[in-house]
Chains A and B, each alone.
Chain A
Amino acid sequence: MAKKILIVDDAQFMRTMLKKLVEENGYEVADEAVNGEEAVKKYKEQSPDLVTMDITMPKMDGIEATREIMDIDSDANVIVCSAMGQKPMVVESLEAGAKDFIVKPIKPKKVKEALNNILE
């Protein structure tokens, strides 16, 4: 069965793009969330194999959401999606337990690599 991925980003544009990349690489999109709160909620419901987590989001940012998800499931696979210039936030996310990061503008090759490194 294909591995399931939860996509978290407040921009529909990014979600759609990630979704396409996820599917192109033979994985399945478990669900999408538009902020950290929703991400945590959907993680509980779906227990996906991996989460792609945007950092800058309303309500709850990706760092806090990563923390909460790691509290729920210490084996959770979270990949944070950061922008250039967000290095401190990426560091914080990695400290919070994120396994990897990708940097926007996202490149299909990098997304593939990050997904495969964790899931294959």
Chain B
Amino acid sequence: MDMDEFQEMYASESREHLDILNDALLTLENDPENMEMVNESFRAAHTLKGMAGTMGFDQVSELAHAMENILDELRNGEIAVTTEVINLLFRAVDNLELLSSDPDQVEDLEGLIKELRNYTGDDTELSTGNQETSASSNNDYFSLDQDELEMVEDTPGETVIIKVILESDCVFKSLRADMVFDALEELGELIKANPSIDDIREEKLDEEFQVLFLTKESKETLSDALSNISEVDTIEIEVVEDLDDLSIQQESTGAEQEDESTIDGAKDKDSKSKKKSKTQSLSSRLRSSSTIKVDVDRLDSLMNLVAELVIKRTQVESVARSYDLDDLEKKLKPLSKVTTDLQDAVMEMRMVPISMVFNRFPRLVRDLAQDLEKDINLKIEGEETELDRTIIDEIGDPLVHLIRNSIDHGIEPPAEREEKDKPREGLVKLSAFHEGNNVVIQIEDDGAGIDPDVIEEKAIDKGVASPSEIENMSDQEIINLIFAPGFSTNEEVSDVSGRGVGMDVVKNKLDSLNGSIDIKSEVGKGSTFTMKLPLTLSIIQGFLTTVADQKYVIPLESIQEIVDVQPEDIQTIRQEQVIHRRGSVIPLISLRNKLGKEDDFEEEEISTVIVEIANDYYGLMVDSIIGQQEVVIKRINDLSENIEKIAGGAILGDGSIALILNVEEITIG
């Protein structure tokens, strides 16, 4: 059978079992009495072992097997749940992950497996069932004692020697032998086996064993009865003509049988604990048999098709409008509803709960807390919030960075917290929720907060901003400097949140996703990072405007209102044009100016789109406003001069192209 086609399924399913292991071990660490978690982990390790073995991934299989043994002893209460054993198991999980994702990073596997085995006090045995102890007797003859010989002589029927050869890769040979004995039971009398039945029961046999059997049945009947047993390779039946061929000896009791009682004891315990686990389990979330898995690429291409359909629909609509075809327009209404529904349905298919990313964090936080010797309580809220798969894939790294920052720089060491009258345990809260067409993710900590004075000093030091620039900045603006390229608040780049990735990388990532990030921080109280992300990437609602004969789309999510500004309303403060509106001063930005076009407003009124960016309002002056429209974002690859001000392109109903403005970029500087 071709194993390649199972690769992908193996990859995704083993991923799920690794997640279960991670979750269960975390829960177990906090709640060492929780036997269900031990069972849970055991099952996951066990399943992994089996899957990997079938795929021929021996290292994975062996590692999982070693874990399984430890978990089994935890289950039986032979060893206790300690940080040490949990750490060891976590290391095994990490390496299992690496074996499938990045095999070069795997630590010394043999050493790890040895460590795991040592922990169970079992460093000799590899996998059970493989111990080939040589059969206690290689003698082809049966040694009968007096009683047995008499029995053979007294029983009517023929005496036969049945030689059974099992397939060489048969695992539980003793069980196959047992099945042979069972099948023979009704057909006659079993006198003796070679190796002895006791040895066979202890797996002390090679592929071959022989049975001395008394029967009235024919050879054929015997052979038929045995051939239906799996893994039996050949059966030879030979009638014993002369009983003298059977050498008579004093039966020797095998000295090897001493440890039998201990094996039986273990068996009992094992099967008892097997029966217990019936409670609801984590892994139940894996089994909704009515779901199918679809390659993300397929969904992407479906998404693209739907996007094309939306474009084509808008094209037809615009023809209907320009030729005043009322009938056509009417007919198009239901079509447009269907396409909208279709679009929603496809979007929904791409939505996955944010728990997919959040799930990693309990483990991350645990490890960080341990490394940094801090006490951290991680709270997660809203993990069921759904987001487009593409976005989920992208936000993992930024989130990891922010959480690391919170724990490394935010939360103070326990002693320091006590001095400040804070609880020893620092709180990191991760939450997600919907807000309009956005998903908001917050990372909140009750740590030291960000001190603007410190930021100020560093910013000047690093040349991110000049002292005169900073003089005019509000505290909030100063704090925002941490997003500037080349800024890092920590002097010595620490092991944990250093890694040469700055907050500017986080910000860039969010920009590229059409999202935003801002900070609220209070010295001594803590910080909150708020990320806003679009629900989906591909289709946005926006206002279509024209600037110097080119169409631009302003994303609806940032728009507050649209006003016509009269020239006499415009005031100039510090060489900046502003308007007063509802008690606040709103700076005006000429898009012509920003986009490098000729800036000459002659109109009486200036159409202005008021946008909100990070709690500040700006008025974007445009030539005219066409109206609200749904546009499909297309990536623009070639780098035009204004590339950072443009978030993408869109094809409009009439076939023309509009550029989607990156409003945040426009309002900077």
Contact of B1 among A61, A88, A105, A108 (CB under 8 A): A108
Collect the chain B residues with CB atoms within 8 Å of residue A83's CB.
46, 49-50, 53
Q: How many residues of B contact A (CB 8 A)?
A: 50
Q: B: which residues have CB within 8 A of A?
A: 1, 6, 9-10, 13-14, 17, 40, 42-43, 46-47, 49-51, 53-56, 61, 65, 127-130, 169, 171-172, 174-175, 178-179, 228-231, 266-267, 270-271, 274-275, 277-278, 281, 283-284, 286-287, 289
Closest to A21 in B: B1
Give Cα distance in the complex from A78 to B556, angstroms: 62
Please name 30 pairs of A and B residues whose Cβ atoms are closer than 8 Å in the assembled complex, sorted by A. A10-B43, A10-B286, A13-B9, A13-B10, A17-B1, A32-B289, A34-B287, A56-B43, A56-B46, A56-B47, A58-B281, A59-B281, A61-B274, A63-B275, A84-B130, A87-B172, A87-B174, A89-B270, A89-B274, A90-B175, A94-B175, A94-B179, A102-B230, A104-B50, A105-B50, A105-B54, A105-B61, A110-B231, A117-B228, A118-B228
Give Cα distance in the complex from A88 to B552, angstroms: 72
Q: Judging by beta carbons under 8 Å apart, are B43 and A58 in contact?
A: yes
Known A16-B6, A87-B175, A103-B172; contact A10-B283, beta-carbon cutoff 8 A = yes
Scan A74-91; emit 1 where CB is below 8 A from any B CB, else 0: 000000000111011111
Q: Judging by beta carbons under 8 Å apart, are B13 and A11 in contact?
A: yes
Q: Judging by beta carbons under 8 Å apart, are B175 and A24 in contact?
A: no
Known A100-B230, A117-B228; contact A91-B50, beta-carbon cutoff 8 A = no
Known A10-B287, A12-B13, A56-B46; contact A85-B1, beta-carbon cutoff 8 A = no
Collect the chain B residues with CB atoms within 8 Å of residue A44's CB.
none
A72 contacts B by Cβ under 8 Å: no
Scan A9-42; emit 1 where CB is below 8 A from any B CB, else 0: 0111110110011001000000010110010000
Q: Judging by beta carbons under 8 Å apart, are A59 and B289 in contact?
A: no
Q: Judging by beta carbons under 8 Å apart, are B229 and A117 in contact?
A: yes
Closest to A24 in B: B1
Collect the chain B residues with CB atoms within 8 Å of residue A10's CB.
43, 47, 283, 286-287
Q: Per DSSP, are chain B's interface residues mostly helix, strand or loop, or mixed?
A: helix
4 nearest CB pairs, A to B: A105-B53, A105-B54, A85-B128, A104-B50
Known A84-B127, A94-B175, A104-B54; contact A11-B281, beta-carbon cutoff 8 A = no
Give Cα distance in the complex from A24 to B1, angstroms: 10
Give Cα distance in the complex from A13 to B341, angstroms: 34
Closest to A115 in B: B230
Closest to A33 in B: B289
Collect the chain B residues with CB atoms within 8 Å of residue A34's CB.
287, 289
Collect the chain A residues with CB atoms within 8 Å of residue B10's CB.
13
Closest to B130 in A: A84
Q: Judging by beta carbons under 8 Å apart, are B54 and A106 in contact?
A: yes
Q: Could you say which interface size class chain A belongs to?
A: 35 or more
Give Cα distance in the complex from A60 to B40, angstroms: 13
Give Cα distance in the complex from A108 to B172, angstroms: 17
Closest to B13 in A: A13
Give Cα distance in the complex from A21 to B228, angstroms: 20
Contact of A11 among B50, B169, B175, B275 (CB under 8 A): B50
Contact of B128 among A11, A56, A87, A91 (CB under 8 A): A87
A71 contacts B by Cβ under 8 Å: no
Q: Judging by beta carbons under 8 Å apart, are A84 and B6 in contact?
A: no
Collect the chain B residues with CB atoms within 8 Å of residue A63's CB.
271, 274-275
A113 contacts B by Cβ under 8 Å: yes
A92 contacts B by Cβ under 8 Å: yes
Q: Judging by beta carbons under 8 Å apart, are B231 and A113 in contact?
A: yes
Give Cα distance in the complex from A93 to B267, angstroms: 13
Collect the chain B residues with CB atoms within 8 Å of residue A94's CB.
175, 178-179
Collect the chain B residues with CB atoms within 8 Å of residue A3's CB.
none
Known A16-B9, A58-B277; contact A113-B50, beta-carbon cutoff 8 A = no
Known A13-B9, A59-B278, A105-B54; contact A84-B283, beta-carbon cutoff 8 A = no
Q: Judging by beta carbons under 8 Å apart, are B6 and A17 in contact?
A: yes
A43 contacts B by Cβ under 8 Å: no
Give Cα distance in the complex from A109 to B467, angstroms: 78
Contact of B169 among A32, A35, A101, A107 (CB under 8 A): A107
Q: Judging by beta carbons under 8 Å apart, are A88 and B270 in contact?
A: yes
Give Cα distance in the complex from A53 to B54, angstroms: 17
- Find residues 49-71 in chain A having any chain B CB closer than 8 Å to their own CB: 56-61, 63-64
- For the complex with contacts A14-B51, A89-B270, A105-B55, 16 further pairs of A-B residues with Cβ separation under 8 Å are A10-B43, A13-B6, A13-B9, A13-B51, A21-B1, A32-B289, A87-B174, A88-B266, A88-B267, A88-B270, A91-B267, A92-B271, A94-B178, A103-B171, A110-B230, A118-B228
Q: Judging by beta carbons under 8 Å apart, are B277 and A90 in contact?
A: no
